[in-house]
Amino acid sequence: MSFQGYLRKDGRKGIRNVVAVAYLVECAHHVARRIVDRCDDPDVHLIGFPGCYPNEYALQMMKALTTHPNVGGVLLVSLGCESFNREALAAYVAASDRPVETIVIQKAGGTRSAIDRGVAAVKAMQQKAAAAAVRVPMALSELVVGTICGGSDGTSGITANPAVGRAFDRLVAAGATCIFEETGEMIGCEAPMAVRATTPEVGEAIVASIAKAETYYRAMGFGSFAPGNAEGGLSSQEEKSAGAYVKSGSAPIVGVIKPAEVPEAPGLYLLDVVPDGPPKFGFPNISDNAEIVELMACGAHLTLFTTGRGSVVGSAIAPVIKVTGNPETYRRMTEDMDVNAGRILEGEGDLDEVADEIVALVKAVAGGQFTKSEDMGHREFILTYKSFEPSGPGCFPRSA
């Protein structure tokens, strides 16, 4: 089965045609947000980086995000004096054949004139992006799908997460690229995970990434464990880990990637989200959307988000499909939940049925159907400081 995608110059295909309005420092955030608000269009999304100090990770992330296959045009909003290399970013986007404009607030004459110019620029860009859009058939094998869990509870690890794992197995079998992440939530799972690696290098990288996560979180003083996890019945980091790990399904792990590295060959990847080097800049990902943003920077067209307690977030750029493992949460928050994996606990269906439902929804959403969070206007985005060393070639297979 295929659906219609947007063909980009680099050969990748998108499932949305979004104009991204990107602030390049917190000082430009208000102007960028007002531009997006004034456009009042579900396909104009706000993204950005708040820091004034230079950061290579943030530049690489913004390059990957502004040339994400779901993005058809980009407006950069700069205050003017921040360190972000707006020229390099604009040149990178332009080289991808996308329309791009930069508004520098200090040069535009201040807040109001920058907003007015920005709204006009987005409208012109949308016309260009619509005219330039090349609709082509797109197959499941061309999709990149990420998964994260947020607001986990004691149900997540026995319903939603294994159901997503089986959906991943089906997607990988169909030739898609699937990415799971949050090595801090895999602490204690490194040995069985390494066995699934396709090469010794990947196995070593898996073990090293988990060891790094444990060191990092220990230095931070907290595990990747929220109070709501405990209220939902999870008692320890390793209990949460065992439940989170099953999202990865059972396919072989073909590579370990870092944020903004886009896999070139299909298969299942582990995204190592914990910064390299001595801990600095704080917690690896301060909330769930930071992880979704990193999955998108690795090319994810959409994200499968499992939740027990009931997260409501969506994302800029790439749709989020919400799968709850808790039948009570589903009943309480039906308007936010796309899939009720909690029905398994009540004897209505099994993991395979829910996995089939998830795969069917992935196809529908890839074909243009809005997810619940997307429909309600959720477009969360967060990007903060980090530092990474690039992955070695052994962990990052190129297409044959």
Partner 1 sequence: MSSIIDAHVHLWDPARGDYGWLTPALPTLYRRIDPQELHEQLTRAGVHGAVLVQAAPTEAESDYLLSIAERTPWVRGVVGWVDFDAPDIEQRIAARARQAKFVGVRPMLQDIEDVDWILHPSRGRALSALASHGLVFDALIKPVHMARIEQIARRHPDLSIVIDHAAKPTIGNELSPSWRESLRALASHPNVVCKLSGLLTEVAPGVEPSQVLDCAEVVLQLFGPSRVLWGSDWPVLTLASSYDQWHALTQRALSSLSVSDRNAVTGGNAVRIYRMKTPPAAPAILLHPDDNVLVCCRAVRAGERFNISESEVIHVLQDTDLGHKLARRGLSEGDKVIKYGAPIGSMKAAVLAGGWIHLHNMKSDYISAHTRAARVDAI
Q: Which is nearer to partner 1, 199 or 236 (CB)?
A: 236
Contact 202, 394 (CB under 8 A): yes
Rg (CA), the chain: 20
Question: Exposed (0-12), middle (13-18) or buried (19+): which is 29, by Cβ within 10 Å?
Answer: middle
Q: Which is nearer to partner 1, 72 or 157 (CB)?
A: 157
Q: Which is nearer to partner 1, 347 or 393 (CB)?
A: 347
Q: Which is nearer to partner 1, 141 or 250 (CB)?
A: 250
Angle between helix 111-132 and helix 29-39 axes, rounded to 10 deg: 50
Give the pairing of strands 177-180 and 253-257: unpaired
Minimum separation from the CB atom of position 378 to partner 1 (A): 24
Minimum separation from the CB atom of position 383 to partner 1 (A): 25
Residues of this chain that bind partner 1 (CB under 8 A): 153-155, 157-158, 166, 169-170, 173, 187-188, 214, 217-218, 222-223, 225, 227-239, 242-243, 250-251, 308, 326-328, 344-352
Minimum separation from the CB atom of position 228 to partner 1 (A): 8
Minimum separation from the CB atom of position 293 to partner 1 (A): 24
Q: Which is nearer to partner 1, 236 or 287 (CB)?
A: 236
Q: Which is nearer to partner 1, 24 or 179 (CB)?
A: 179
Minimum separation from the CB atom of position 248 to partner 1 (A): 13
The Cα angle at residue 312 between residues 230 and 239, in degrees rounded to 5: 25
DSSP 62: H
Q: Which is nearer to partner 1, 106 or 250 (CB)?
A: 250
Contact 75, 89 (CB under 8 A): no
Residue with tokens 């169909």: 174
Minimum separation from the CB atom of position 275 to partner 1 (A): 18
Contact 285, 258 (CB under 8 A): no
Q: What is the DSSP string of 97-118?
A: T--EEEEEHHHHTSHHHHHHHH
DSSP reduced 3-state for 7:
strand
Minimum separation from the CB atom of position 178 to partner 1 (A): 12
- Up-side HSE of residue 149: CA atoms within 13 Å toward CB? 41
For the beta carbon of residue 117, count every other beta carbon within 10 angstroms: 19
